[in-house]
Amino acid sequence: MGHLGVLLFLLGGLGTLADICEIPEVDSKLVETLGQRLLPWIDWLSLEHLNPSIYVGLRLSSLQAGAREAFYLHILKLKYQQSFRSPRLAVNDDNRDDQAKPSMGQLALYLLALRANCEFVGGHKGDRLVSQLKRFLEDEKRAIGPNHKGHPRTSYYQYGLGILALCVHQKRLHDTVVGKLLYAVEHEQHLHRDHLSVDTVAMAGLAFTCLDHSNFNPNQRHRITLAIRTVREKILKAQTPEGYFGNVYSTPLALQLLMNSFMPGQKLGTACLKARTALLANMKDEAFRNALLISQLLPVLNGKSYVDLISPDCEAPRVLLQPAMENPSQTQEVISVMLKVPSVLPPYRHSISVPAGSSLEDVFNKAQELGGFTYGTQNTLSGPYLTSVMGKEVGEREFWQLLRAPDTPLLEGIAEYTPKNGETIELRLVSW
């Protein structure tokens, strides 16, 4: 090969590298700091706050929580087996715990947690959980309807999560169930109406990738391969000038999907490096405080995705996490935040004074104390979700949107967003 040949060969190689999404290792201290934020959640063993996603994230990370982690899984098992025990055993039950039944997506996350511990669901209890998840998906398929005119009662995000969880347990689903998610990805306007989010398409992509790797649904093989490509392209297109795929908080799931993939001619490698740089800056800024989001990010920092749960490596060495020293910041400064709810009668608009660094939830509590403002929340894996304002509960496919005036939707929930002095926060009832 002449000099020119060698040069072209090298350039070709570099070009190929630029097409692969690789995430170089991140400073282990930074990763540890992130992991430490999960420890209080693992130690907080209230049934209501149990979060299978935290267990999954930890097991796919380079970190471990030793005996606490094992105990956490034990309690998760008690909760989920109890929640879906056979009706025969629940005869004398009042209906109290029926209301607290985990959703389809939560059951799916629990099954992922079992796989993260290298367990396959099985036996009587396990089969019941699998049948339950399959029933959930069948119900959702019916809700979407034969002409795809309806919507899942939960969301396409949870639909994808359900398919993924059954897939990593080597449980097959009927083509018609998978077909609904394929259709949603194939018809963009359909997804838009259903609130297309990068998180949602990434989750769908992870489910399809699992089906592809497992050779499931062979009759739909071609559609599945195409859908994976479509999803990757959509996510690449959604990259912002700062480097996020969608926004900072959808970037971890997006990277789970893109990581280790190869897309010739798409400069995928460069896009992923840019996303990594943007994420690192945020990690240093402590943007990742939410346990659920940390649990989606930790696998990425360890080069793993949920698809690795097909055959997880449970022997991989992981660093034992030590609790961090808390140094609570004390502040005397008081700020004022304008809280407004224009859609109620009479419209609510008040300036609320709180200590600097207070969360939006603290602002709500202060407003409630002062009178004239009420709100209600529901506990979720992401934290407290605002479900009612001034007694107005959300209807089907509605939500109370959080915005910073004039029109910027917040990227965090009420427990995490910390308003700045002089900011106006609007609560708006919208359809999604």
Positions that interact with ligand B12 (CB under 6 A) = 103, 105-106, 109, 154-155, 157-158, 195, 197, 199-200, 246-247, 249-250, 253, 290, 293, 296, 380-386, 399-402, 409-414, 416, 432
Residue 385 is labelled as binding a ligand: yes
Contact 264, 19 (CB under 8 A): yes
Q: Which is nearer to ligand B12, 64 or 108 (CB)?
A: 108
Closer of 19 and 242 to ligand B12 (Cβ): 242
Radius of gyration of the chain (CA): 23
Report in angstroms how near the CB of residue 293 gets to ligand B12 at its nearest.
5
Closest approach, Cβ 428 to ligand B12, in A, equals: 8
Whichever of 179 and 246 has its CB closer to ligand B12, that residue is 246
- Distance CA(144)–CA(154), nearest Å, equals 11
- Asked if 338 contacts 403 with a C-beta cutoff of 8 angstroms, the reply is no
Q: How near is the Cβ of 431 to ligand B12 at its closest, in Å?
A: 9
Consult the annotation and say whether 89 binds a ligand.
Answer: no
Structure tokens at 97: 């715990």
Binding site annotation covers 374?
no
Is 158 known to sit in a ligand binding site? yes
Strand partners, 349: 340
Among the listed residues 288, 203, 279, the one whose alpha carbon sits nearest the alpha carbon of residue 244? 279
Does the annotation list 260 as a binding residue?
Answer: no
249 is in an annotated binding site: no
Q: How far is the CB of 247 from ligand B12 (least distance, A)?
A: 5
The annotation status of 170 as a binding-site residue, yes or no, is no
Place of tokens 């609320």: 352
**Contact assessment for residue 424 and residue 340, using Cβ atoms and an 8 Å cutoff:** yes
Residue 97 in marked binding region: no
Q: List Cβ neighbours of 392 (8 Å cut-off, separation of 6 or more).
A: 343, 344, 429
Question: How many helices (H) does the chain have, and how many strands (E)?
Answer: 17, 10
Nearer to ligand B12 by Cβ, of 152 and 269: the residue is 152
Q: Which is nearer to ligand B12, 73 or 202 (CB)?
A: 202
Q: Alpha-carbon distance 143 to 140, whole Å?
A: 5
Structure tokens at 115: 């796989």
Q: Which is nearer to ligand B12, 216 or 244 (CB)?
A: 244
Q: How far is the CB of 398 from ligand B12 (least distance, A)?
A: 8
Q: In angstroms, what is the minimal distance from the CB of 249 to ligand B12?
A: 4
- Minimum distance from CB of 320 to ligand B12 (Å)? 27
Among residues 220, 235, 126, 233, which one has the least CA distance to residue 181?
A: 220
Sign of the C-alpha dihedral computed for residues 146, 147, 150 and 153 taken in this order: positive
Full DSSP string of 120-153: PP-HHHHHHHHHHHHHHHHHHHHHH-TTS-S--S
CB of 14 to ligand B12, least distance (A): 33
Distance CA 232, CA 178 (A): 18
Q: Check whether 402 is labelled as a binding-site residue.
A: yes
Cβ contacts of 339-343, under 8 Å, gap ≥ 24 = 339/363, 339/364, 339/367, 339/373, 339/424, 339/425, 339/427, 340/405, 340/424, 340/425, 340/426, 340/427, 341/373, 341/389, 341/390, 341/426, 341/427, 342/426, 342/428, 343/392, 343/428, 343/429
Considering beta carbons, is residue 264 or 409 the nearer one to ligand B12? 409
Nearer to ligand B12, 271 or 318 (CB): 271
Sequence ranges of the binding site: 154-158, 199, 247, 296, 385-386, 400-402, 410, 432
Sequence ranges of the binding site for cyanocob(III)alamin: 154-158, 199, 247, 296, 385-386, 400-402, 410, 432
